[in-house]
């Protein structure tokens, strides 16, 4: 077959598209291998089979019987394309076989040489495996030596460090022991000198006293005839010469303790006695706290200014409560740079300008009382700017600042250290104002809001949204507070609550109180008419409650108190005030004497159903110190029963009409140390 390399492209494409080389190759291979007797019929059958299977599935060994095929990988390529000139490559099968044979021989030669070198050791050379084993052994020994040296070095280093610490500790103990010996010697010597000085001082005073007595006797004997018959001997004693006694010779500590009990006026008067007393009244420790409120009606602006100028470095506490001073005098407070506590409540002359001078010069103030003053939003702007460490702030009855002023508390460093806040009587504050306080002072722990009829549940809710550290609240005179306030305060760990005069609070506020406030210790719910026996039942699981005041809660009776005492609270309660709980009787008092072993204060004022039997039970509460039985039906017999209680120190029996002089006399003979309050006893003269 002639080559088609020089044929036209159309003819070559025809051969490629119709698989002419592949068909010829398959038929030729089948004839060469099979050698059929009738080649034409064989070719006809094979062509029919190729047409049935399709040209796409055509293989070069398709016409060969599978039994005669060798078990080698089937090749899908064909070489007839090269024979017919359809491929431009000139690689022939002979060249491919020769190349494969050369590559196989070369690969076999390389692997044989490598195997021979590995298997047959050299005759004249050293065994490399032995050499490698020796090298490995040396390296392993080196690693072991290095590891041992490392452990030894660490051990030696630790031992040296321990010895160093031990030596340092011994030196410290030696120095401490040496200092203790020196201190003991010094103390013994100081005690000896102090005792010697006291003995000398006592001897000197005794001699002066004897000398004074001898002079007094001589003077009395000389003037004995001139004494009026009506004149008392005490008058003669006063006429005599005052003994010479120098108080300045007392220890400085004793002098300071004596003068610390005096007020400002008395201290000034003592300083006018003589120079010695003047020097004693001018000790620095006496002027750390100055209270001008005790002399507010007599003190002058000039004296205040001069006093502050003189003791400006020592003053830590100033009290100007109720003082009417000029602005210039109030500005002089700025001289006290170390001031920590300032009380300017009820000062009608205090202005924003005065507070500006004080705040700029006294940044260390911790306690600030501005109650009932005329401050405005300007002062509220100054507080966070200068008083960075302010902890206690009272704005009670300051009605000229607004919600905007409370928003200023968050400016600058803010009043984030504030823990006590008093907003009593500030009726101008709205819900937004309380929200501003929460944003500015989230660390508040003690909150007091009294005499504020505009206070609502929403105000408290806005405050506690961010103030989760509140531990005590006082709401007196807030009639619009309800049970919802207790629900809002559930996010805080309350320890003390105080409500008074509220009719909207019911038993629902104390439901689950042992889970919401497990650490509460003081509960004051005075004059809350909505509380019943159910409240006492809810309070019984509290384990930390020590003070309970339910005065004027007239709906409480024996059943509620008995259920209250059945819980663990009975062992912890210290003070119990049930005044005007008119439904209480002897049954609950009997339960009280059985469970309350630590009760110190008990008030049963105006409990009309209490009888002599209840008094018997009260005597069995041995820990009682104070009892208030005013307005009860107690008689002389009950008073005699109470006389058996040996620890009772205070007893109030006002408005007890059945008590007579005889009962009082018996009671006073039993105990002379206690305080007995007797008021409006009709039979007692």
Flag whether pLDDT at 684 surpasses 50.
Answer: no
In the 8-state DSSP scheme, what is residue 393? E
pLDDT score of 39: 85
Band of pLDDT at residue 614, cut at 50, 70 and 90: confident
Report in angstroms the alpha-carbon separations of 69 from 34, 72, 105, 113.
Answer: 11, 8, 26, 36
Pick the more confident residue, 386 or 56. Answer: 386
Look at the pTM and tell me if it is higher than 0.85: no
Q: What is the dihedral of CA 490, 492, 493, 499, to 10 degrees?
A: -70
- Name the one residue in this structure whose structure tokens are 């909207």: 504
- Per-residue pLDDT of 556-570, as tens digits, reads 988 988 888 888 888
Band of pLDDT at residue 422, cut at 50, 70 and 90: very high
Kindly state the percentage of the chain with pLDDT values over 70.
87
Flag whether pLDDT at 9 surpasses 70.
Answer: yes
Distance CA 558, CA 252 (A): 60
Angle at 519 between CA 515 and CA 520, to 5 degrees: 95
Question: Which range is least confidently modeled, 23-32, 59-68, 434-443, 588-597?
Answer: 59-68
Mean pLDDT, range 12-17, rounded to an integer: 81
Question: Which range is least confidently modeled, 140-144, 151-155, 190-194?
Answer: 190-194
Instruction: Judge whether 390 and 415 are in contact, CB under 8 Å.
Output: yes
Three-class DSSP category at 334:
helix
Instruction: Judge whether 499 and 481 are in contact, CB under 8 Å.
Output: yes
Flag whether pLDDT at 82 surpasses 60.
Answer: no
pLDDT score of 498: 93
Mean pLDDT, range 338-347, rounded to an integer: 92
Band of pLDDT at residue 262, cut at 50, 70 and 90: confident
Three-class DSSP category at 61:
coil
pLDDT score of 57: 78
Flag whether pLDDT at 73 surpasses 60.
Answer: no
- Name the one residue in this structure whose structure tokens are 């052994």: 137
* Among candidate residues 124, 238, 251, 242, the one with its CA nearest the CA of residue 194: 251
Work out the angle between the directed axes of helices 377-386 and 352-361 (0-180°, nearest 10). Answer: 0
Band of pLDDT at residue 667, cut at 50, 70 and 90: low
* Among candidate residues 540, 537, 652, 513, the one with its CA nearest the CA of residue 595: 540
Q: How far does Cα 376 stand from its chain's mean position?
A: 33
**Would you tell me how many other CB atoms lie within 10 Å of the CB of residue 22?**
21
* Among candidate residues 509, 585, 571, the one with its CA nearest the CA of residue 540: 571
Instruction: Judge whether 619 and 641 are in contact, CB under 8 Å.
Output: yes
pLDDT score of 428: 92
Mean pLDDT, range 377-397, rounded to an integer: 90
Residues in the chain: 685
Question: What average pLDDT is seen over the chain?
Answer: 82
Q: How far apart are the first and last CA of the chain?
A: 161
* Among candidate residues 387, 382, 380, 425, the one with its CA nearest the CA of residue 404: 380
Flag whether pLDDT at 575 surpasses 90.
Answer: yes
Flag whether pLDDT at 352 surpasses 80.
Answer: yes
pLDDT score of 674: 47
Per-residue tokens: 450: 């009294």
Instruction: Judge whether 538 and 511 are in contact, CB under 8 Å.
Output: yes
Residue 291, strand partner residues: 319
- Name the one residue in this structure whose structure tokens are 């032995």: 130
Flag whether pLDDT at 89 surpasses 60.
Answer: no
């Amino acid at each position: 077959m002639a080559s088609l390399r020089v044929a036209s492209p159309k003819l070559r494409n025809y051969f490629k598209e119709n698989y002419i080389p592949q068909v010829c190759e398959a038929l030729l291979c089948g004839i060469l291998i099979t050698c059929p007797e009738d080649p034409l019929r064989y070719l006809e059958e094979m062509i029919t089979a190729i047409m049935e299977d399709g040209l796409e599935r055509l293989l070069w060994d398709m016409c060969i019987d599978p039994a005669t095929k060798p078990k080698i990988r089937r090749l899908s390529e064909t070489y007839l394309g090269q024979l017919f000139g359809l491929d431009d490559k000139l690689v022939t099968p002979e060249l491919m076989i020769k190349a494969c044979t050369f590559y196989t021989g070369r690969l076999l030669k390389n692997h044989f040489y490598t195997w021979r070198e590995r298997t047959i050791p050299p005759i004249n050379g050293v065994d490399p495996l032995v050499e490698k084993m020796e090298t490995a052994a040396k390296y392993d020994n080196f690693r072991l030596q290095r590891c041992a040296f490392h452990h030894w070095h660490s051990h030696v280093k630790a031992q040296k460090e321990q010895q160093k610490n031990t030596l340092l500790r011994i030196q410290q103990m030696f120095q401490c022991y040496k200092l203790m010996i020196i201190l003991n010697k010094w103390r013994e010597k100081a005690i000896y000198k102090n005792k010697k000085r006291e003995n000398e001082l006592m001897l000197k005073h005794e001699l002066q006293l004897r000398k004074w007595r001898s002079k007094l006797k001589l003077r009395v004997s000389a003037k004995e005839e001139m004494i009026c018959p009506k004149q008392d001997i005490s008058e003669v004693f006063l006429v005599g010469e005052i003994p010479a006694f120098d108080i300045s010779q007392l220890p400085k500590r004793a002098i300071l303790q004596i003068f610390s009990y005096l007020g400002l006026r008395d201290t000034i008067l003592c300083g006018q006695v003589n120079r010695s007393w003047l020097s004693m009244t001018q000790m620095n420790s006496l002027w750390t706290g100055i209270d001008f409120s005790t002399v507010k009606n007599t003190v002058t602006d000039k004296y205040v200014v001069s006093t502050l100028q003189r003791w400006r470095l020592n003053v830590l506490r100033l009290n100007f409560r109720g003082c009417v001073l000029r602005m210039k005098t109030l500005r002089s407070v700025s001289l006290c740079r170390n001031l920590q506590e300032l009380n300017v409540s009820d000062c009608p002359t205090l202005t924003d300008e005065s507070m500006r001078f004080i705040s700029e010069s006294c940044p260390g103030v911790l306690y600030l009382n501005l109650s009932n003053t005329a401050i405005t939003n300007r002062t509220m702007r100054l507080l966070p700017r200068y008083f960075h460490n302010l902890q206690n702030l009272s704005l009670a009855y300051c009605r000229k600042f607004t919600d905007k002023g409370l928003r200023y508390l968050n400016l600058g460093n803010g009043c984030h250290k504030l823990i006590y806040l008093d907003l009593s009587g500030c009726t101008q504050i709205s819900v937004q104002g309380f929200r501003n306080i929460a944003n500015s002072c989230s660390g508040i722990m003690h909150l007091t809001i009294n005499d504020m009829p505009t206070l609502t549940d929403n105000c408290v809710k806005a405050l506690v949204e961010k103030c989760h550290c509140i531990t005590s609240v006082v709401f007196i005179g807030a009639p619009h507070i309800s049970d919802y306030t207790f629900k809002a305060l559930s996010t805080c760990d309350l320890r003390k609550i105080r409500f008074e005069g509220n009719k909207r609070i019911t038993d629902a506020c104390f439901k689950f109180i042992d889970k919401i406030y497990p650490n509460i210790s003081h509960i004051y719910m005075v004059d809350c008419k909505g509380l019943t026996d159910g409240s006492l039942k809810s309070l019984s699981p509290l384990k930390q409650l020590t003070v309970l005041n339910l005065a004027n809660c007239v709906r409480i009776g024996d059943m509620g108190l008995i259920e209250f005492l059945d819980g663990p609270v009975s062992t912890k309660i210290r003070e119990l005030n049930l005044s005007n709980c008119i439904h209480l009787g002897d049954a609950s008092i009997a339960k009280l004497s059985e469970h309350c072993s630590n009760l110190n204060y008990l008030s049963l004022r105006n409990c009309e159903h209490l009888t002599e039997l209840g008094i018997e039970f009260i005597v069995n509460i041995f820990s009682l110190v104070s009892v208030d039985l005013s307005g009860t039906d107690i008689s002389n017999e009950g008073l005699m029963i109470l006389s058996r209680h040996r620890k009772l120190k205070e007893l109030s029996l006002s408005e007890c009409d059945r008590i007579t002089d005889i009962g009082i006399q018996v009671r006073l003979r039993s105990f002379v140390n206690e305080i007995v309050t007797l008021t409006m006893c009709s039979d007692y003269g």
